[in-house]
Amino acid sequence: MSKLNSLAISDNGFIFKPSTGESFTTNEIGLMIINLLKEGKSADEIISVITEEFDIDAISAGRDLYEYLDFLKREKMLD
Amino acid sequence: MNKRIYERPVLRKVVEGIPNKFGSLKRLRPISTIDNVEIDSLIEEYGSPVFVLSEKTIRDTYKNAYRAFSTRYPKVQFAWSYKTNYLDAVCRIFHQEGAWAEVVSGFEYEKAIDNNTPGNKIIFNGPDKSEEDLVKAINNKSIIHIDHFDELYMILGLTDQLKERPQVAIRVNMDTGIIPQWDRFGFNYENGEAWNAINRILSSKKMDFIGLHVHIGTYITISKPYAVAIEKLAALANKTYNRFQKSIGYIDVGGGFASQNTLQGAYMPATDTTPSFDDYAHAITTAMTAANFPNNETPTLILETGRALIDDAGWLAGTVLANKRLADGRRSMVIDAGVNLMFTSFWYDHEIYPVHESSYQSEPTTIYGPLCMNIDIVRKNIDFPMLNKGDHFVIKRVGAYTMTQWMQFITYRPNIVLIDQHEKVHLIRKQEDKEVFRRQELVPDYLQN
Amino acid sequence: MEQKKLTIGVTGLNNIDSPGPGVSVIRGIKESEIDARIIGLAYENLEPGIYMPGLVDKTYLIPFPSTGSEAFLERLEYIHSKEKLDIIIPNFDSELYLFIKFSDKLLEMGIHTFLPTMEQFEERHKDNLPEYAKKYGIKVPESRPIVNSKELSNLPKPLSYPYFIKGKFYEAFKVVNNNQGIYYFNKLSAKWGLPVVVQQAINGTEVNVIALGDGEGNTVSAVAMRKQYITDKGKAWGGITLNDERLLEITHHIIKETKWRGAMELEMIKTDEGEYYLIEINPRIPAWVFLAVGAGQNIPEMVCRLATGEKVEPITTYKYGKMFIRYSWDLIGDIADFEKIVIFGEL
């Protein structure tokens, strides 16, 4: 998770990647996922946190989560 | 404990110099009813996709157009352009409102007769009129707008065998500053062909020459060319009067008024730029009043506008089939209605809306139809909220040309329903099924087993 | 009399190599006696005007006009609810259509503009220039709208090489042979649509006038300028004010005949024989407006005064030989400001 720690992430969901100078925006759930990843949580653990807090079933939350993780990987913010 | 409303996680790269959401996003508000009828219930009852027509919108639009012209000019007549939408129910609504029929084929002519249009209230346009069609039209005293000399001579030949005198007008094409110039229909004004045709008609003494018709193009968004056209027709009318002491009963300025659908490549949305009926009426009636027609007569003004009268009344509701990411990461969505039903997607940026609020996030999306064909694209790029498989969408302004130009390709054509003025729903064209095709197709004996 | 503080919205903060007029307009207002709070209205998150110290009091991002009037007006209403705008000075050709169309609605909200009428705006479009010239008795180069590249090999006399080929809204290229013509035709028609306009190139010096009409036929302000050097984008690098009576006469004539309302820029060519040809009318303040301010005619200030219904006495003199030299200047920003614009659309 070292890559995530090198990002500058604000509470507004603004992410700045100092190594490339790129910036990104994310929403509240995205921010929550990133923070959970930083804590070293696994995908399944993240899904259960989301389904507990939000009105969503595990299958849909999982589908969205994996898509989101793909994005992070594509942007080289995650290994 | 009440759980919070879920929103899918999104990550978006900020592209410097490119407008962000405050720059490009127009929040799409869901449309969940048409004339107070729930779209979900329409899909449930009539299947997906389904075309929906609003009788109220049709009548309101017609009344608005008629008011715009009739308050500015004493003699105004609309003729419903069948090719724009020739569903019998639609045609009958226009006929009830007072429109004549404007047809361009034997098929449409038969439809107009079946819709109880009196023969003398049918205008027969177009380059394709068979001898059989012409005989019928002459006997019914329908108005024939002659398109070319071959047709003129065919009618002349028929006059010896028939007792009715053909009621004819000629279609004139001309330079009105509109680009491209439509010179493939009718007789040209500038090179004298139109005047030759009038001479031929009147010197034969076998037909009644009653009007002049012009149709300067389609999707005309400026009203001035109509004024140019009327000026030129008035000059022809005067020339005709001077030579033959015959005045013209009507001027038919055709159609071509733009609807509020945005053409692809246009900078501004058409909802901001399309002239209103009042704009068109002002330009056309001012020109009619300013033109000096022979004998100080006021010819009737005939309008054949189609698109602008029906586009707003038509909707297409359907269902999302799938979401997928394209190779470059862009989002795409597959829906159950494609170019087979909306040929118009090739030139319009159709307005498409979710039926229910689904997500506050939207993303540039390509919307594909269901056909297994690469060209089946409904919208190339639209900022659209994430809908899930099975969610409903509705496309606005699809009343013109869709239900006549649609293709039976790969799949059946769907139901069309009409919501009447009391918000009651009527099926006005049944969806196709395999029986429709069994009836049409024949299998030779040797392939039977 | 104590002057009321005015809140003025200004667009066109893209002060880059092909600059928008916004920054110059704001500088004009700041040099005047108007007590103003300046609200920047930006389309893109990197428009320099957003970040320039001491220029705007606050900036809001607004949607492109092509998004449609609904979103556009909604955003303006939001900004108005926060800032109570008294005036907006729009500076882009592409946004003028909406501002003109909805000027009454804006006025109802309490926002004043001072813009040409829709008729004046539409009439001066490039493809209508020959007709415009005929109507108002102005000389223009031979020109013709074309819709098919085949027409290029058969242009009617007296059109000949070299000529300019121009896109419907923006961009122009000089053409010296048919192949070039076809190349640019395809490029321009794909980008801006049809027709493409072919306009005879006229030998001579390009001269420009910035002018302001009061809508009743009076020229309230007019300053003539020659571009001294032109960048590869066709924009002025430097310019100098001129004493050219004939040029100002033509300007007064156009404003009188058209009853032009608002600011405009006339682009003209003066031939060696001393004849003037009108090339284009831009229906807005040009980016070099600050030269006019420096020469003694503060057009942004006068626009504000006219917009709020003040009577403005015409200024007829200005200093000749005043120059502007455009320079670029790297300003240091911080990602935190960028974040605010990106996330909240406000800074």
* pLDDT tens sequence across B114-167: 999 999 999 999 999 999 999 999 999 999 999 999 999 999 999 989 989 999
| Chain A residues with beta carbon closer than 8 angstroms to that of B9 | 26-27, 29-30, 32-33, 64-65, 68
CA distance C187 to chain A (A): 32
- Residue C179 has a CB neighbour count (10 Å cut-off) of 10
B264-268, B428-432, C260-264: the lowest-pLDDT one: B264-268
Q: Rounded to whole angstroms, how far apart are CA atoms C272 and C287?
A: 27
Q: What is the DSSP string of C269-292?
A: EE-TTS-EEEEEEESS--TTHHHH
Which positions 40-59 of A are in contact with B (Cβ < 8 Å)?
50, 52-56
Partner-chain residue, chosen from B7, B14, B325, that has the shortest CB–CB distance to A25: B14
Residue C346 contacts A, CB cutoff 8 Å: no
Q: Which chain B residue is nearest to residue C47, measuring alpha carbons?
A: B17
Q: Rounded to whole angstroms, how far apart are CA atoms A37 and A45?
A: 10
ipTM for the predicted complex comes to 0.88
Residues C210, C241 contacting (CB under 8 angstroms): no
Which positions 330-369 of B are in contact with A (Cβ < 8 Å)?
361
Residues B187, B164 contacting (CB under 8 angstroms): no
| pLDDT over threshold 60, residue B24 | no
Query: Is B6 within 8 Å of A56 when comparing Cβ atoms?
Result: yes
Domain spans, chain A: 2-74
Per-residue model confidence as pLDDT tens digits over C196-254:
889 998 888 889 999 999 999 999 999 999 988 887 777 788 999 999 999 999 999 99
Which positions 19-48 of B are in contact with C (Cβ < 8 Å)?
19-27
What's the sign of the alpha-carbon dihedral C85, C86, C92, C98? positive
Residue B14 contacts A, CB cutoff 8 Å: yes
CA distance A39 to chain B (A): 18
Pick from C202, C239, C200: which is nearest to C19 by CA? C239
Residue in the block written with tokens 């259960």: A48
- What is the pLDDT averaged over residues B412-417? 97
pTM of the predicted model as reported, rounded to 2 decimal places: 0.79
Q: Which chain A residue is nearest to residue C337, measuring alpha carbons?
A: A14
How, if at all, do strands B362-368 and B331-335 pair? parallel
Amino acid at B136: K
Is C232 inside a domain boundary?
no
Query: Is C45 within 8 Å of B19 when comparing Cβ atoms?
Result: yes
Pick from B397, B439, B431: which is nearest to B84 by CA? B397
Query: Is B3 within 8 Å of A54 when comparing Cβ atoms?
Result: yes
Peptide bond into B49 cis (omega under 30): yes
First and final C-alpha spacing in chain A = 8
Residues C201, C141 contacting (CB under 8 angstroms): yes
* Domains in chain B with CATH codes: 23-52+312-433 (2.40.37.10), 55-311 (3.20.20.10)
Amino acid at C58: K
Q: How far is CA C163 from CA C173, C270, C279, in A?
A: 8, 16, 12
Q: Is C109 left (phi over 0), alpha (psi -120 to 50) or beta?
A: alpha
- What is the pLDDT averaged over residues B384-404? 92
Give strand pairing partners of C221. C212
Q: What topology does CATH give the domain A2-74?
A: Arc Repressor Mutant, subunit A (1.10.10)
- Residue B134 has a CB neighbour count (10 Å cut-off) of 22
Query: Is B22 within 8 Å of C61 when comparing Cβ atoms?
Result: yes
Quote the pLDDT of residue B431.
Answer: 96
CATH number for the domain including C177? 3.30.1490.20
Partner-chain residue, chosen from A23, A50, A64, that has the shortest CB–CB distance to B14: A23
Do C152 and C110 share a domain, yes or no?
A: no
Query: Is C68 within 8 Å of B272 when comparing Cβ atoms?
Result: yes
A-C interface: how many C-beta pairs under 8 angstroms?
17
pLDDT band at residue C66 using 50, 70 and 90 as cut-offs: confident
- Would you state the structure tokens that stand for residue B323, as one six-digit string? 């979401």
Is C88 inside a domain boundary?
yes
| Chain A residues with beta carbon closer than 8 angstroms to that of C343 | 12-14, 25
Per-residue model confidence as pLDDT tens digits over B313-330:
999 999 999 988 888 778
Residues B103, B82 contacting (CB under 8 angstroms): yes
| pLDDT over threshold 60, residue B21 | no
B334-338, C91-95, C114-118: the lowest-pLDDT one: C91-95
| Chain C residues with beta carbon closer than 8 angstroms to that of A16 | 335, 339
Is C13 inside a domain boundary?
yes
Quote the pLDDT of residue C291.
Answer: 96
Angle between helices C299-307 and C22-31 (to 10 degrees): 80
What stretches of B296-376 adopt beta strand conformation (E)?
300-303, 314-325, 331-335, 352-354, 362-368
Q: Which chain C residue is nearest to residue A22, measuring alpha carbons?
A: C335
| Chain C residues with beta carbon closer than 8 angstroms to that of A13 | 343
| Chain B residues with beta carbon closer than 8 angstroms to that of C71 | 25-27
Q: How far is CA B235 from CA B98, B196, B229, B293, B301, in A?
A: 30, 14, 10, 8, 16
Q: Rounded to whole angstroms, how far apart are CA atoms B232 and B189?
A: 8
CA distance C72 to chain B (A): 9
Q: How far is CA C183 from CA B214, C173, C189, C197, in A?
A: 36, 10, 10, 14
Residue B445: φ, ψ to 5°: -50, -45
Query: Is B16 within 8 Å of C45 when comparing Cβ atoms?
Result: yes
Residue in the block written with tokens 């006339």: C266
| pLDDT over threshold 60, residue B22 | no
Q: Within 13 Å and on the Cβ side, how many CA atoms surround A7?
A: 26
Per-residue model confidence as pLDDT tens digits over C296-325:
999 999 999 999 999 999 999 999 999 999
Q: What is the DSSP string of B349-360?
A: ---EEESS---S
Contacts of B2 (CB under 8 A, 6+ apart): none
CA distance B273 to chain C (A): 9
Q: Which domain holds residue C182?
A: 142-200
Do C28 and C104 share a domain, yes or no?
A: yes
Q: Rounded to whole angstroms, how far apart are CA atoms B355 and B40?
A: 8
How, if at all, do strands B167-173 and B187-188 pair? parallel
Give strand pairing partners of B301. B76, B251
Q: What is the DSSP string of B44-90?
A: HHH-SSEEEEEHHHHHHHHHHHHHHHHTT-S-EEEEEEGGG---HHH
Is C50 inside a domain boundary?
yes
Residue B282: φ, ψ to 5°: -60, -50
Q: Which chain C residue is nearest to residue B20, measuring alpha carbons?
A: C342
What percent of chain B is predicted at pLDDT more than 90? 67
Query: Is C43 within 8 Å of B180 when comparing Cβ atoms?
Result: no
Residue B23 contacts A, CB cutoff 8 Å: no
For C20-46, b/e burial (b = at least 16 CB within 10 A) is: bbbbbbbbbbeebebebbbbbbbbbbb
Partner-chain residue, chosen from C60, C71, C98, that has the shortest CB–CB distance to B26: C71
Per-residue model confidence as pLDDT tens digits over A35-47:
999 999 999 999 9
pLDDT band at residue B81 using 50, 70 and 90 as cut-offs: very high
Query: Is B5 within 8 Å of A68 when comparing Cβ atoms?
Result: no
Is C87 inside a domain boundary?
yes
Residue with more model confidence, B9 or C301? C301
Which positions 12-71 of A are in contact with C (Cβ < 8 Å)?
12-14, 16, 23, 25
Partner-chain residue, chosen from B4, B9, B13, that has the shortest CB–CB distance to A22: B13
Structural domains counted in chain C: 2
| Chain C residues with beta carbon closer than 8 angstroms to that of B23 | 43-45, 61-64
Is C209 inside a domain boundary?
no
Is C316 inside a domain boundary?
no
Residue A26 contacts B, CB cutoff 8 Å: yes
- Residue C235 has a CB neighbour count (10 Å cut-off) of 15
Chains adjacent to A (≥3 CB pairs closer than 8 angstroms): B, C
| Chain A residues with beta carbon closer than 8 angstroms to that of C344 | 12
| Chain B residues with beta carbon closer than 8 angstroms to that of A64 | 8-9
Residues B187, B127 contacting (CB under 8 angstroms): no
**C-alpha B362, offset from chain centre:** 32
Report the helix count and the strand count for chain C, using DSSP H and E. 12, 14
Do C78 and C161 share a domain, yes or no?
A: no
- Residue B390 has a CB neighbour count (10 Å cut-off) of 9
Residue A71 contacts B, CB cutoff 8 Å: yes
pLDDT band at residue A2 using 50, 70 and 90 as cut-offs: low
